[in-house]
Chain A
Amino acid sequence: MKIFVPLLVVALLILHQDDWFFNFWEEPILLFGFMPATLLYHAGISVAAAITWYLAITFCWPKQLNHVEPESPDGVPMAADPAQGEDGAQA
């Protein structure tokens, strides 16, 4: 899945360039009586982007960043902010 998600992002960017691949938009087509075809296609790209990013945060999340603590200039971890609990959560 970690390889699949970046491929999905690339696919999304390619599909975004619909004018190079399809000739759907040579006619002013209205779908459902009111929706221009190209507009509906790109609304679909927006939904596909949200799904892709959901897969990204699920399968490609940088887990090492879940525990980040303030450090001194020498790189020594400092005492956690009293307002923050473990994992940075609000106390």
Chain B
Amino acid sequence: MTQLIIIAIYLASLLGLGLFSSRLFRGTSKDYLLASHSIGPVLLLMSLFGTTMTAFALVGSTGEAYAEGVGVYGMLASSSGIIHSLCFFLIGIKLWSFGRRHGYTTQIQFFRDRLDSDKIGLLLFPILVGLVIPYLLIGVIAAGTVINSVTEGAFTSAFAPYDYGLPNWLGSLVVCGVVLIYVFFGGMRGTAWANTFQTLVFMVLGVITFFVISDKLGGLDAASERVQQKHPSRLMRSVTPEEEAHYETAYKKWETRAYYEYMVKEKGLELTPAQKKTAHAEFKPAKLKLGWQRNAEAMYAAKQNLISFTPNSADAQRARLLRDDRIVPESGGLFAEDGDPLPLSSYRRLPSEVWQAKAEKMFADKIGHPGEEGKWSLKKARGFYRATTWAPQPVHPMGRLKFFTYLLVPLSVGMFPHLFQHWLTARRASTFKLAVVAHPIFIMIVWLPCVLVGVWATAAVSDGRPIIPPHFPPNAVLAMLVKQLSDPLLGGLLTAGILAAIMSSLDSQFLCIGTMFTTDIALHYRRNKEVSERQKVLYARLFIVAVVAVTYGLSLFEPRRVFTLGVWCFSGFSSLFPLVVAAVYWRRLTKVGAYASVLAAAISWAVLFWQSRFGLNPNFTVAGMMPVVVMVAASSVALVAVSLATRPPSEATLAKFFRK
């Protein structure tokens, strides 16, 4: 309950800040949408940083480091420190100057003018909105999940299906409501202030959490040394032979169990009581774990040649798929062209409700109120099921080409519509200076502790047991560590920090989409009719309410797959980066070249997304490279080739954007 109170106080203070900022509202649409270009260096730095660092800043960085090791810092953080500031410096300042000079509020207004094409707006609008929506959904769903997780057991009898915590849908609703209220009343000024406050909150609480967790794990040295002993590969970008061998052994053991279960269920194998007794005696492990007897029986059956199929047979592949809760194809589809069984990751897993029901049935006698002695939460039962049933997770090195080509992903900030809007709020060009310099340091302050905590989690133990079991969802690692290793006060504060990181992106995105609907559609297509400033603000507010309502509605369908779309959204924005660079720096860019570039980006994105099985394959690469390389190459080639082959833009257009 302490956590719930702290979260409530935090959300109330945000509301107060948003409502206070609305008292400075000057009544014009320019003030509502761009804070009248009045934002100074500190607020710009904080709002740009808070907007670019989504839920990923605290939760995702820890989770990725837990799953991939310390290499994620180089892949995602130090690369962003270079590329984001490059975008602010080369693109942001120029776009700010165009916006200030010609009165733009959105990217589409700029592109319509620069390309002398009204229709480019109709092409770009659905693409930009379509790429922001999944990004918004991730934030809304993550907020509900975090609140539910930390309030687990807060109620004595209510919300049993949610582990007696605040239901996800209610947590998401509250967060959407709070963001809506301060964006609705405060507009861009309220958003910038709230972002600054929230950025400070998540930076400070992130560092505090780091020291508390390291202390509970026995200090910095002890926590890292434990990883060095148990999972050394997490401290480098390659895999040690020892860890590779450990994985092979664990996988063999898992396969044996899978074959045994298949023999029992599908082939009618049944060990006699005497055989079981022998099995338990012969294969009793040194450290007894829940369900060890069944493993012993599996090893006994394998030793006695009671498994009637070979590892390369169709039965063996079906056994592995069933044990790993994968969908088994009706016919065929079990082997690659070379005759080897296809990897498990190329099959879809059963819908979550199906395997969760199996987990709940398996541990029905243990599930209850998490506050009761010996009772498990639903989450714990599902976690235990995953850890003991699914195949061990392979350890893999971070490929050099993947690492190199990931550099293109942060280019996405050059085309984020919500960042464009924030850039335009700057008081003057020099306001950007602080953001350009401090952004890499701010990323380091947030990411370095989170990455260390993430790798510590791979070897962290409490009462002799691992705190994070295998197959644990990476995005829940930080919340679990805090819950296990800190008191409710810090747990509540850290939750406020995580929500701060989530909401500091949500607010800008809600405001931006509302602004785009207002400016690029409603007002643009009513250009011959007089619209007062008051009406413009009203339109913006109504669209913001609609965007929040639609996003919240979509989140209720719990589209879990949306989490796999994150990197695809970023890649989509990156594929449009050549367009914005050319629009700012290349006089020869033509309208037709721009259309060709956008279409090439969209088509290459769609084809690769389809090839990745709609984002289901998280390790999808093209010749070892990130798919973004193909998209950026396709859009660049189309842009240059078609521009050079078509009529250059008019002198009047060039005079407007290229001055000596």
Contacts and interface: CB of A to CB of B under 8 A. Distances in A.
A71 B101 contact: yes
A86 to B, nearest CB: 10
Nearest to B443: A46
Given A18-B74, A45-B81, A50 B103 contact: no
Interface string A52-91: 1110110001101110111100010000010110011110
B571 to A, nearest CB: 19
A64 to B, nearest CB: 8
B323 interface: no
Contacts of B233: 28
B79 A26 contact: no
A47 B102 contact: no
B523 to A, nearest CB: 16
A53 B89 contact: yes
A70 B30 CA distance: 13
Given A34-B223, A56-B436, A50 B81 contact: yes
Contacts of B225: 30, 33-34
Q: How large is the interface on A (under 10, 10 to 19, 20 to 34, 35 or more residues)?
A: 35 or more
Interface in B21-43: 26, 36-38, 40
Contacts of A45: 74, 78, 81-82
Interface string B64-101: 00000011011001110110011001000110110011
B37 to A, nearest CB: 7
Given A28-B228, A49-B81, A34 B97 contact: no
B451 A39 contact: yes
A13 B407 contact: yes
A81 B35 CA distance: 13
The A interface is mostly helix, strand or loop, or mixed, namely helix
Interface residues of B, number: 65
Contacts of B403: 17, 19
Contact of A69 (B73, B93, B101, B223): B101
Nearest to A54: B437
Contacts of A29: 235
A65 B71 contact: no
Contacts of A33: 220-221, 224-225
A37 to B, nearest CB: 8
Interface stretch (B422-430, B600-608, B641-649): B422-430
A62 B93 contact: yes
Contacts of B437: 50, 53-54, 57
A9 B70 contact: no
Contact of A87 (B400, B407, B428): B428
Interface of B: 26, 36-38, 40, 70-71, 73-74, 77-79, 81-82, 85-86, 89, 93-94, 96-97, 100-103, 220-221, 223-225, 227-228, 232-238, 240, 398, 400, 403-404, 407, 427-430, 433, 436-441, 443-444, 448, 451-452, 455, 655-656, 659
Given A16-B82, A47-B444, A65-B93, 20 more contacts: A9-B86, A13-B82, A16-B79, A19-B400, A20-B404, A27-B236, A28-B232, A33-B220, A34-B220, A34-B224, A39-B70, A43-B444, A45-B74, A45-B81, A46-B444, A66-B429, A68-B100, A81-B36, A87-B428, A90-B427
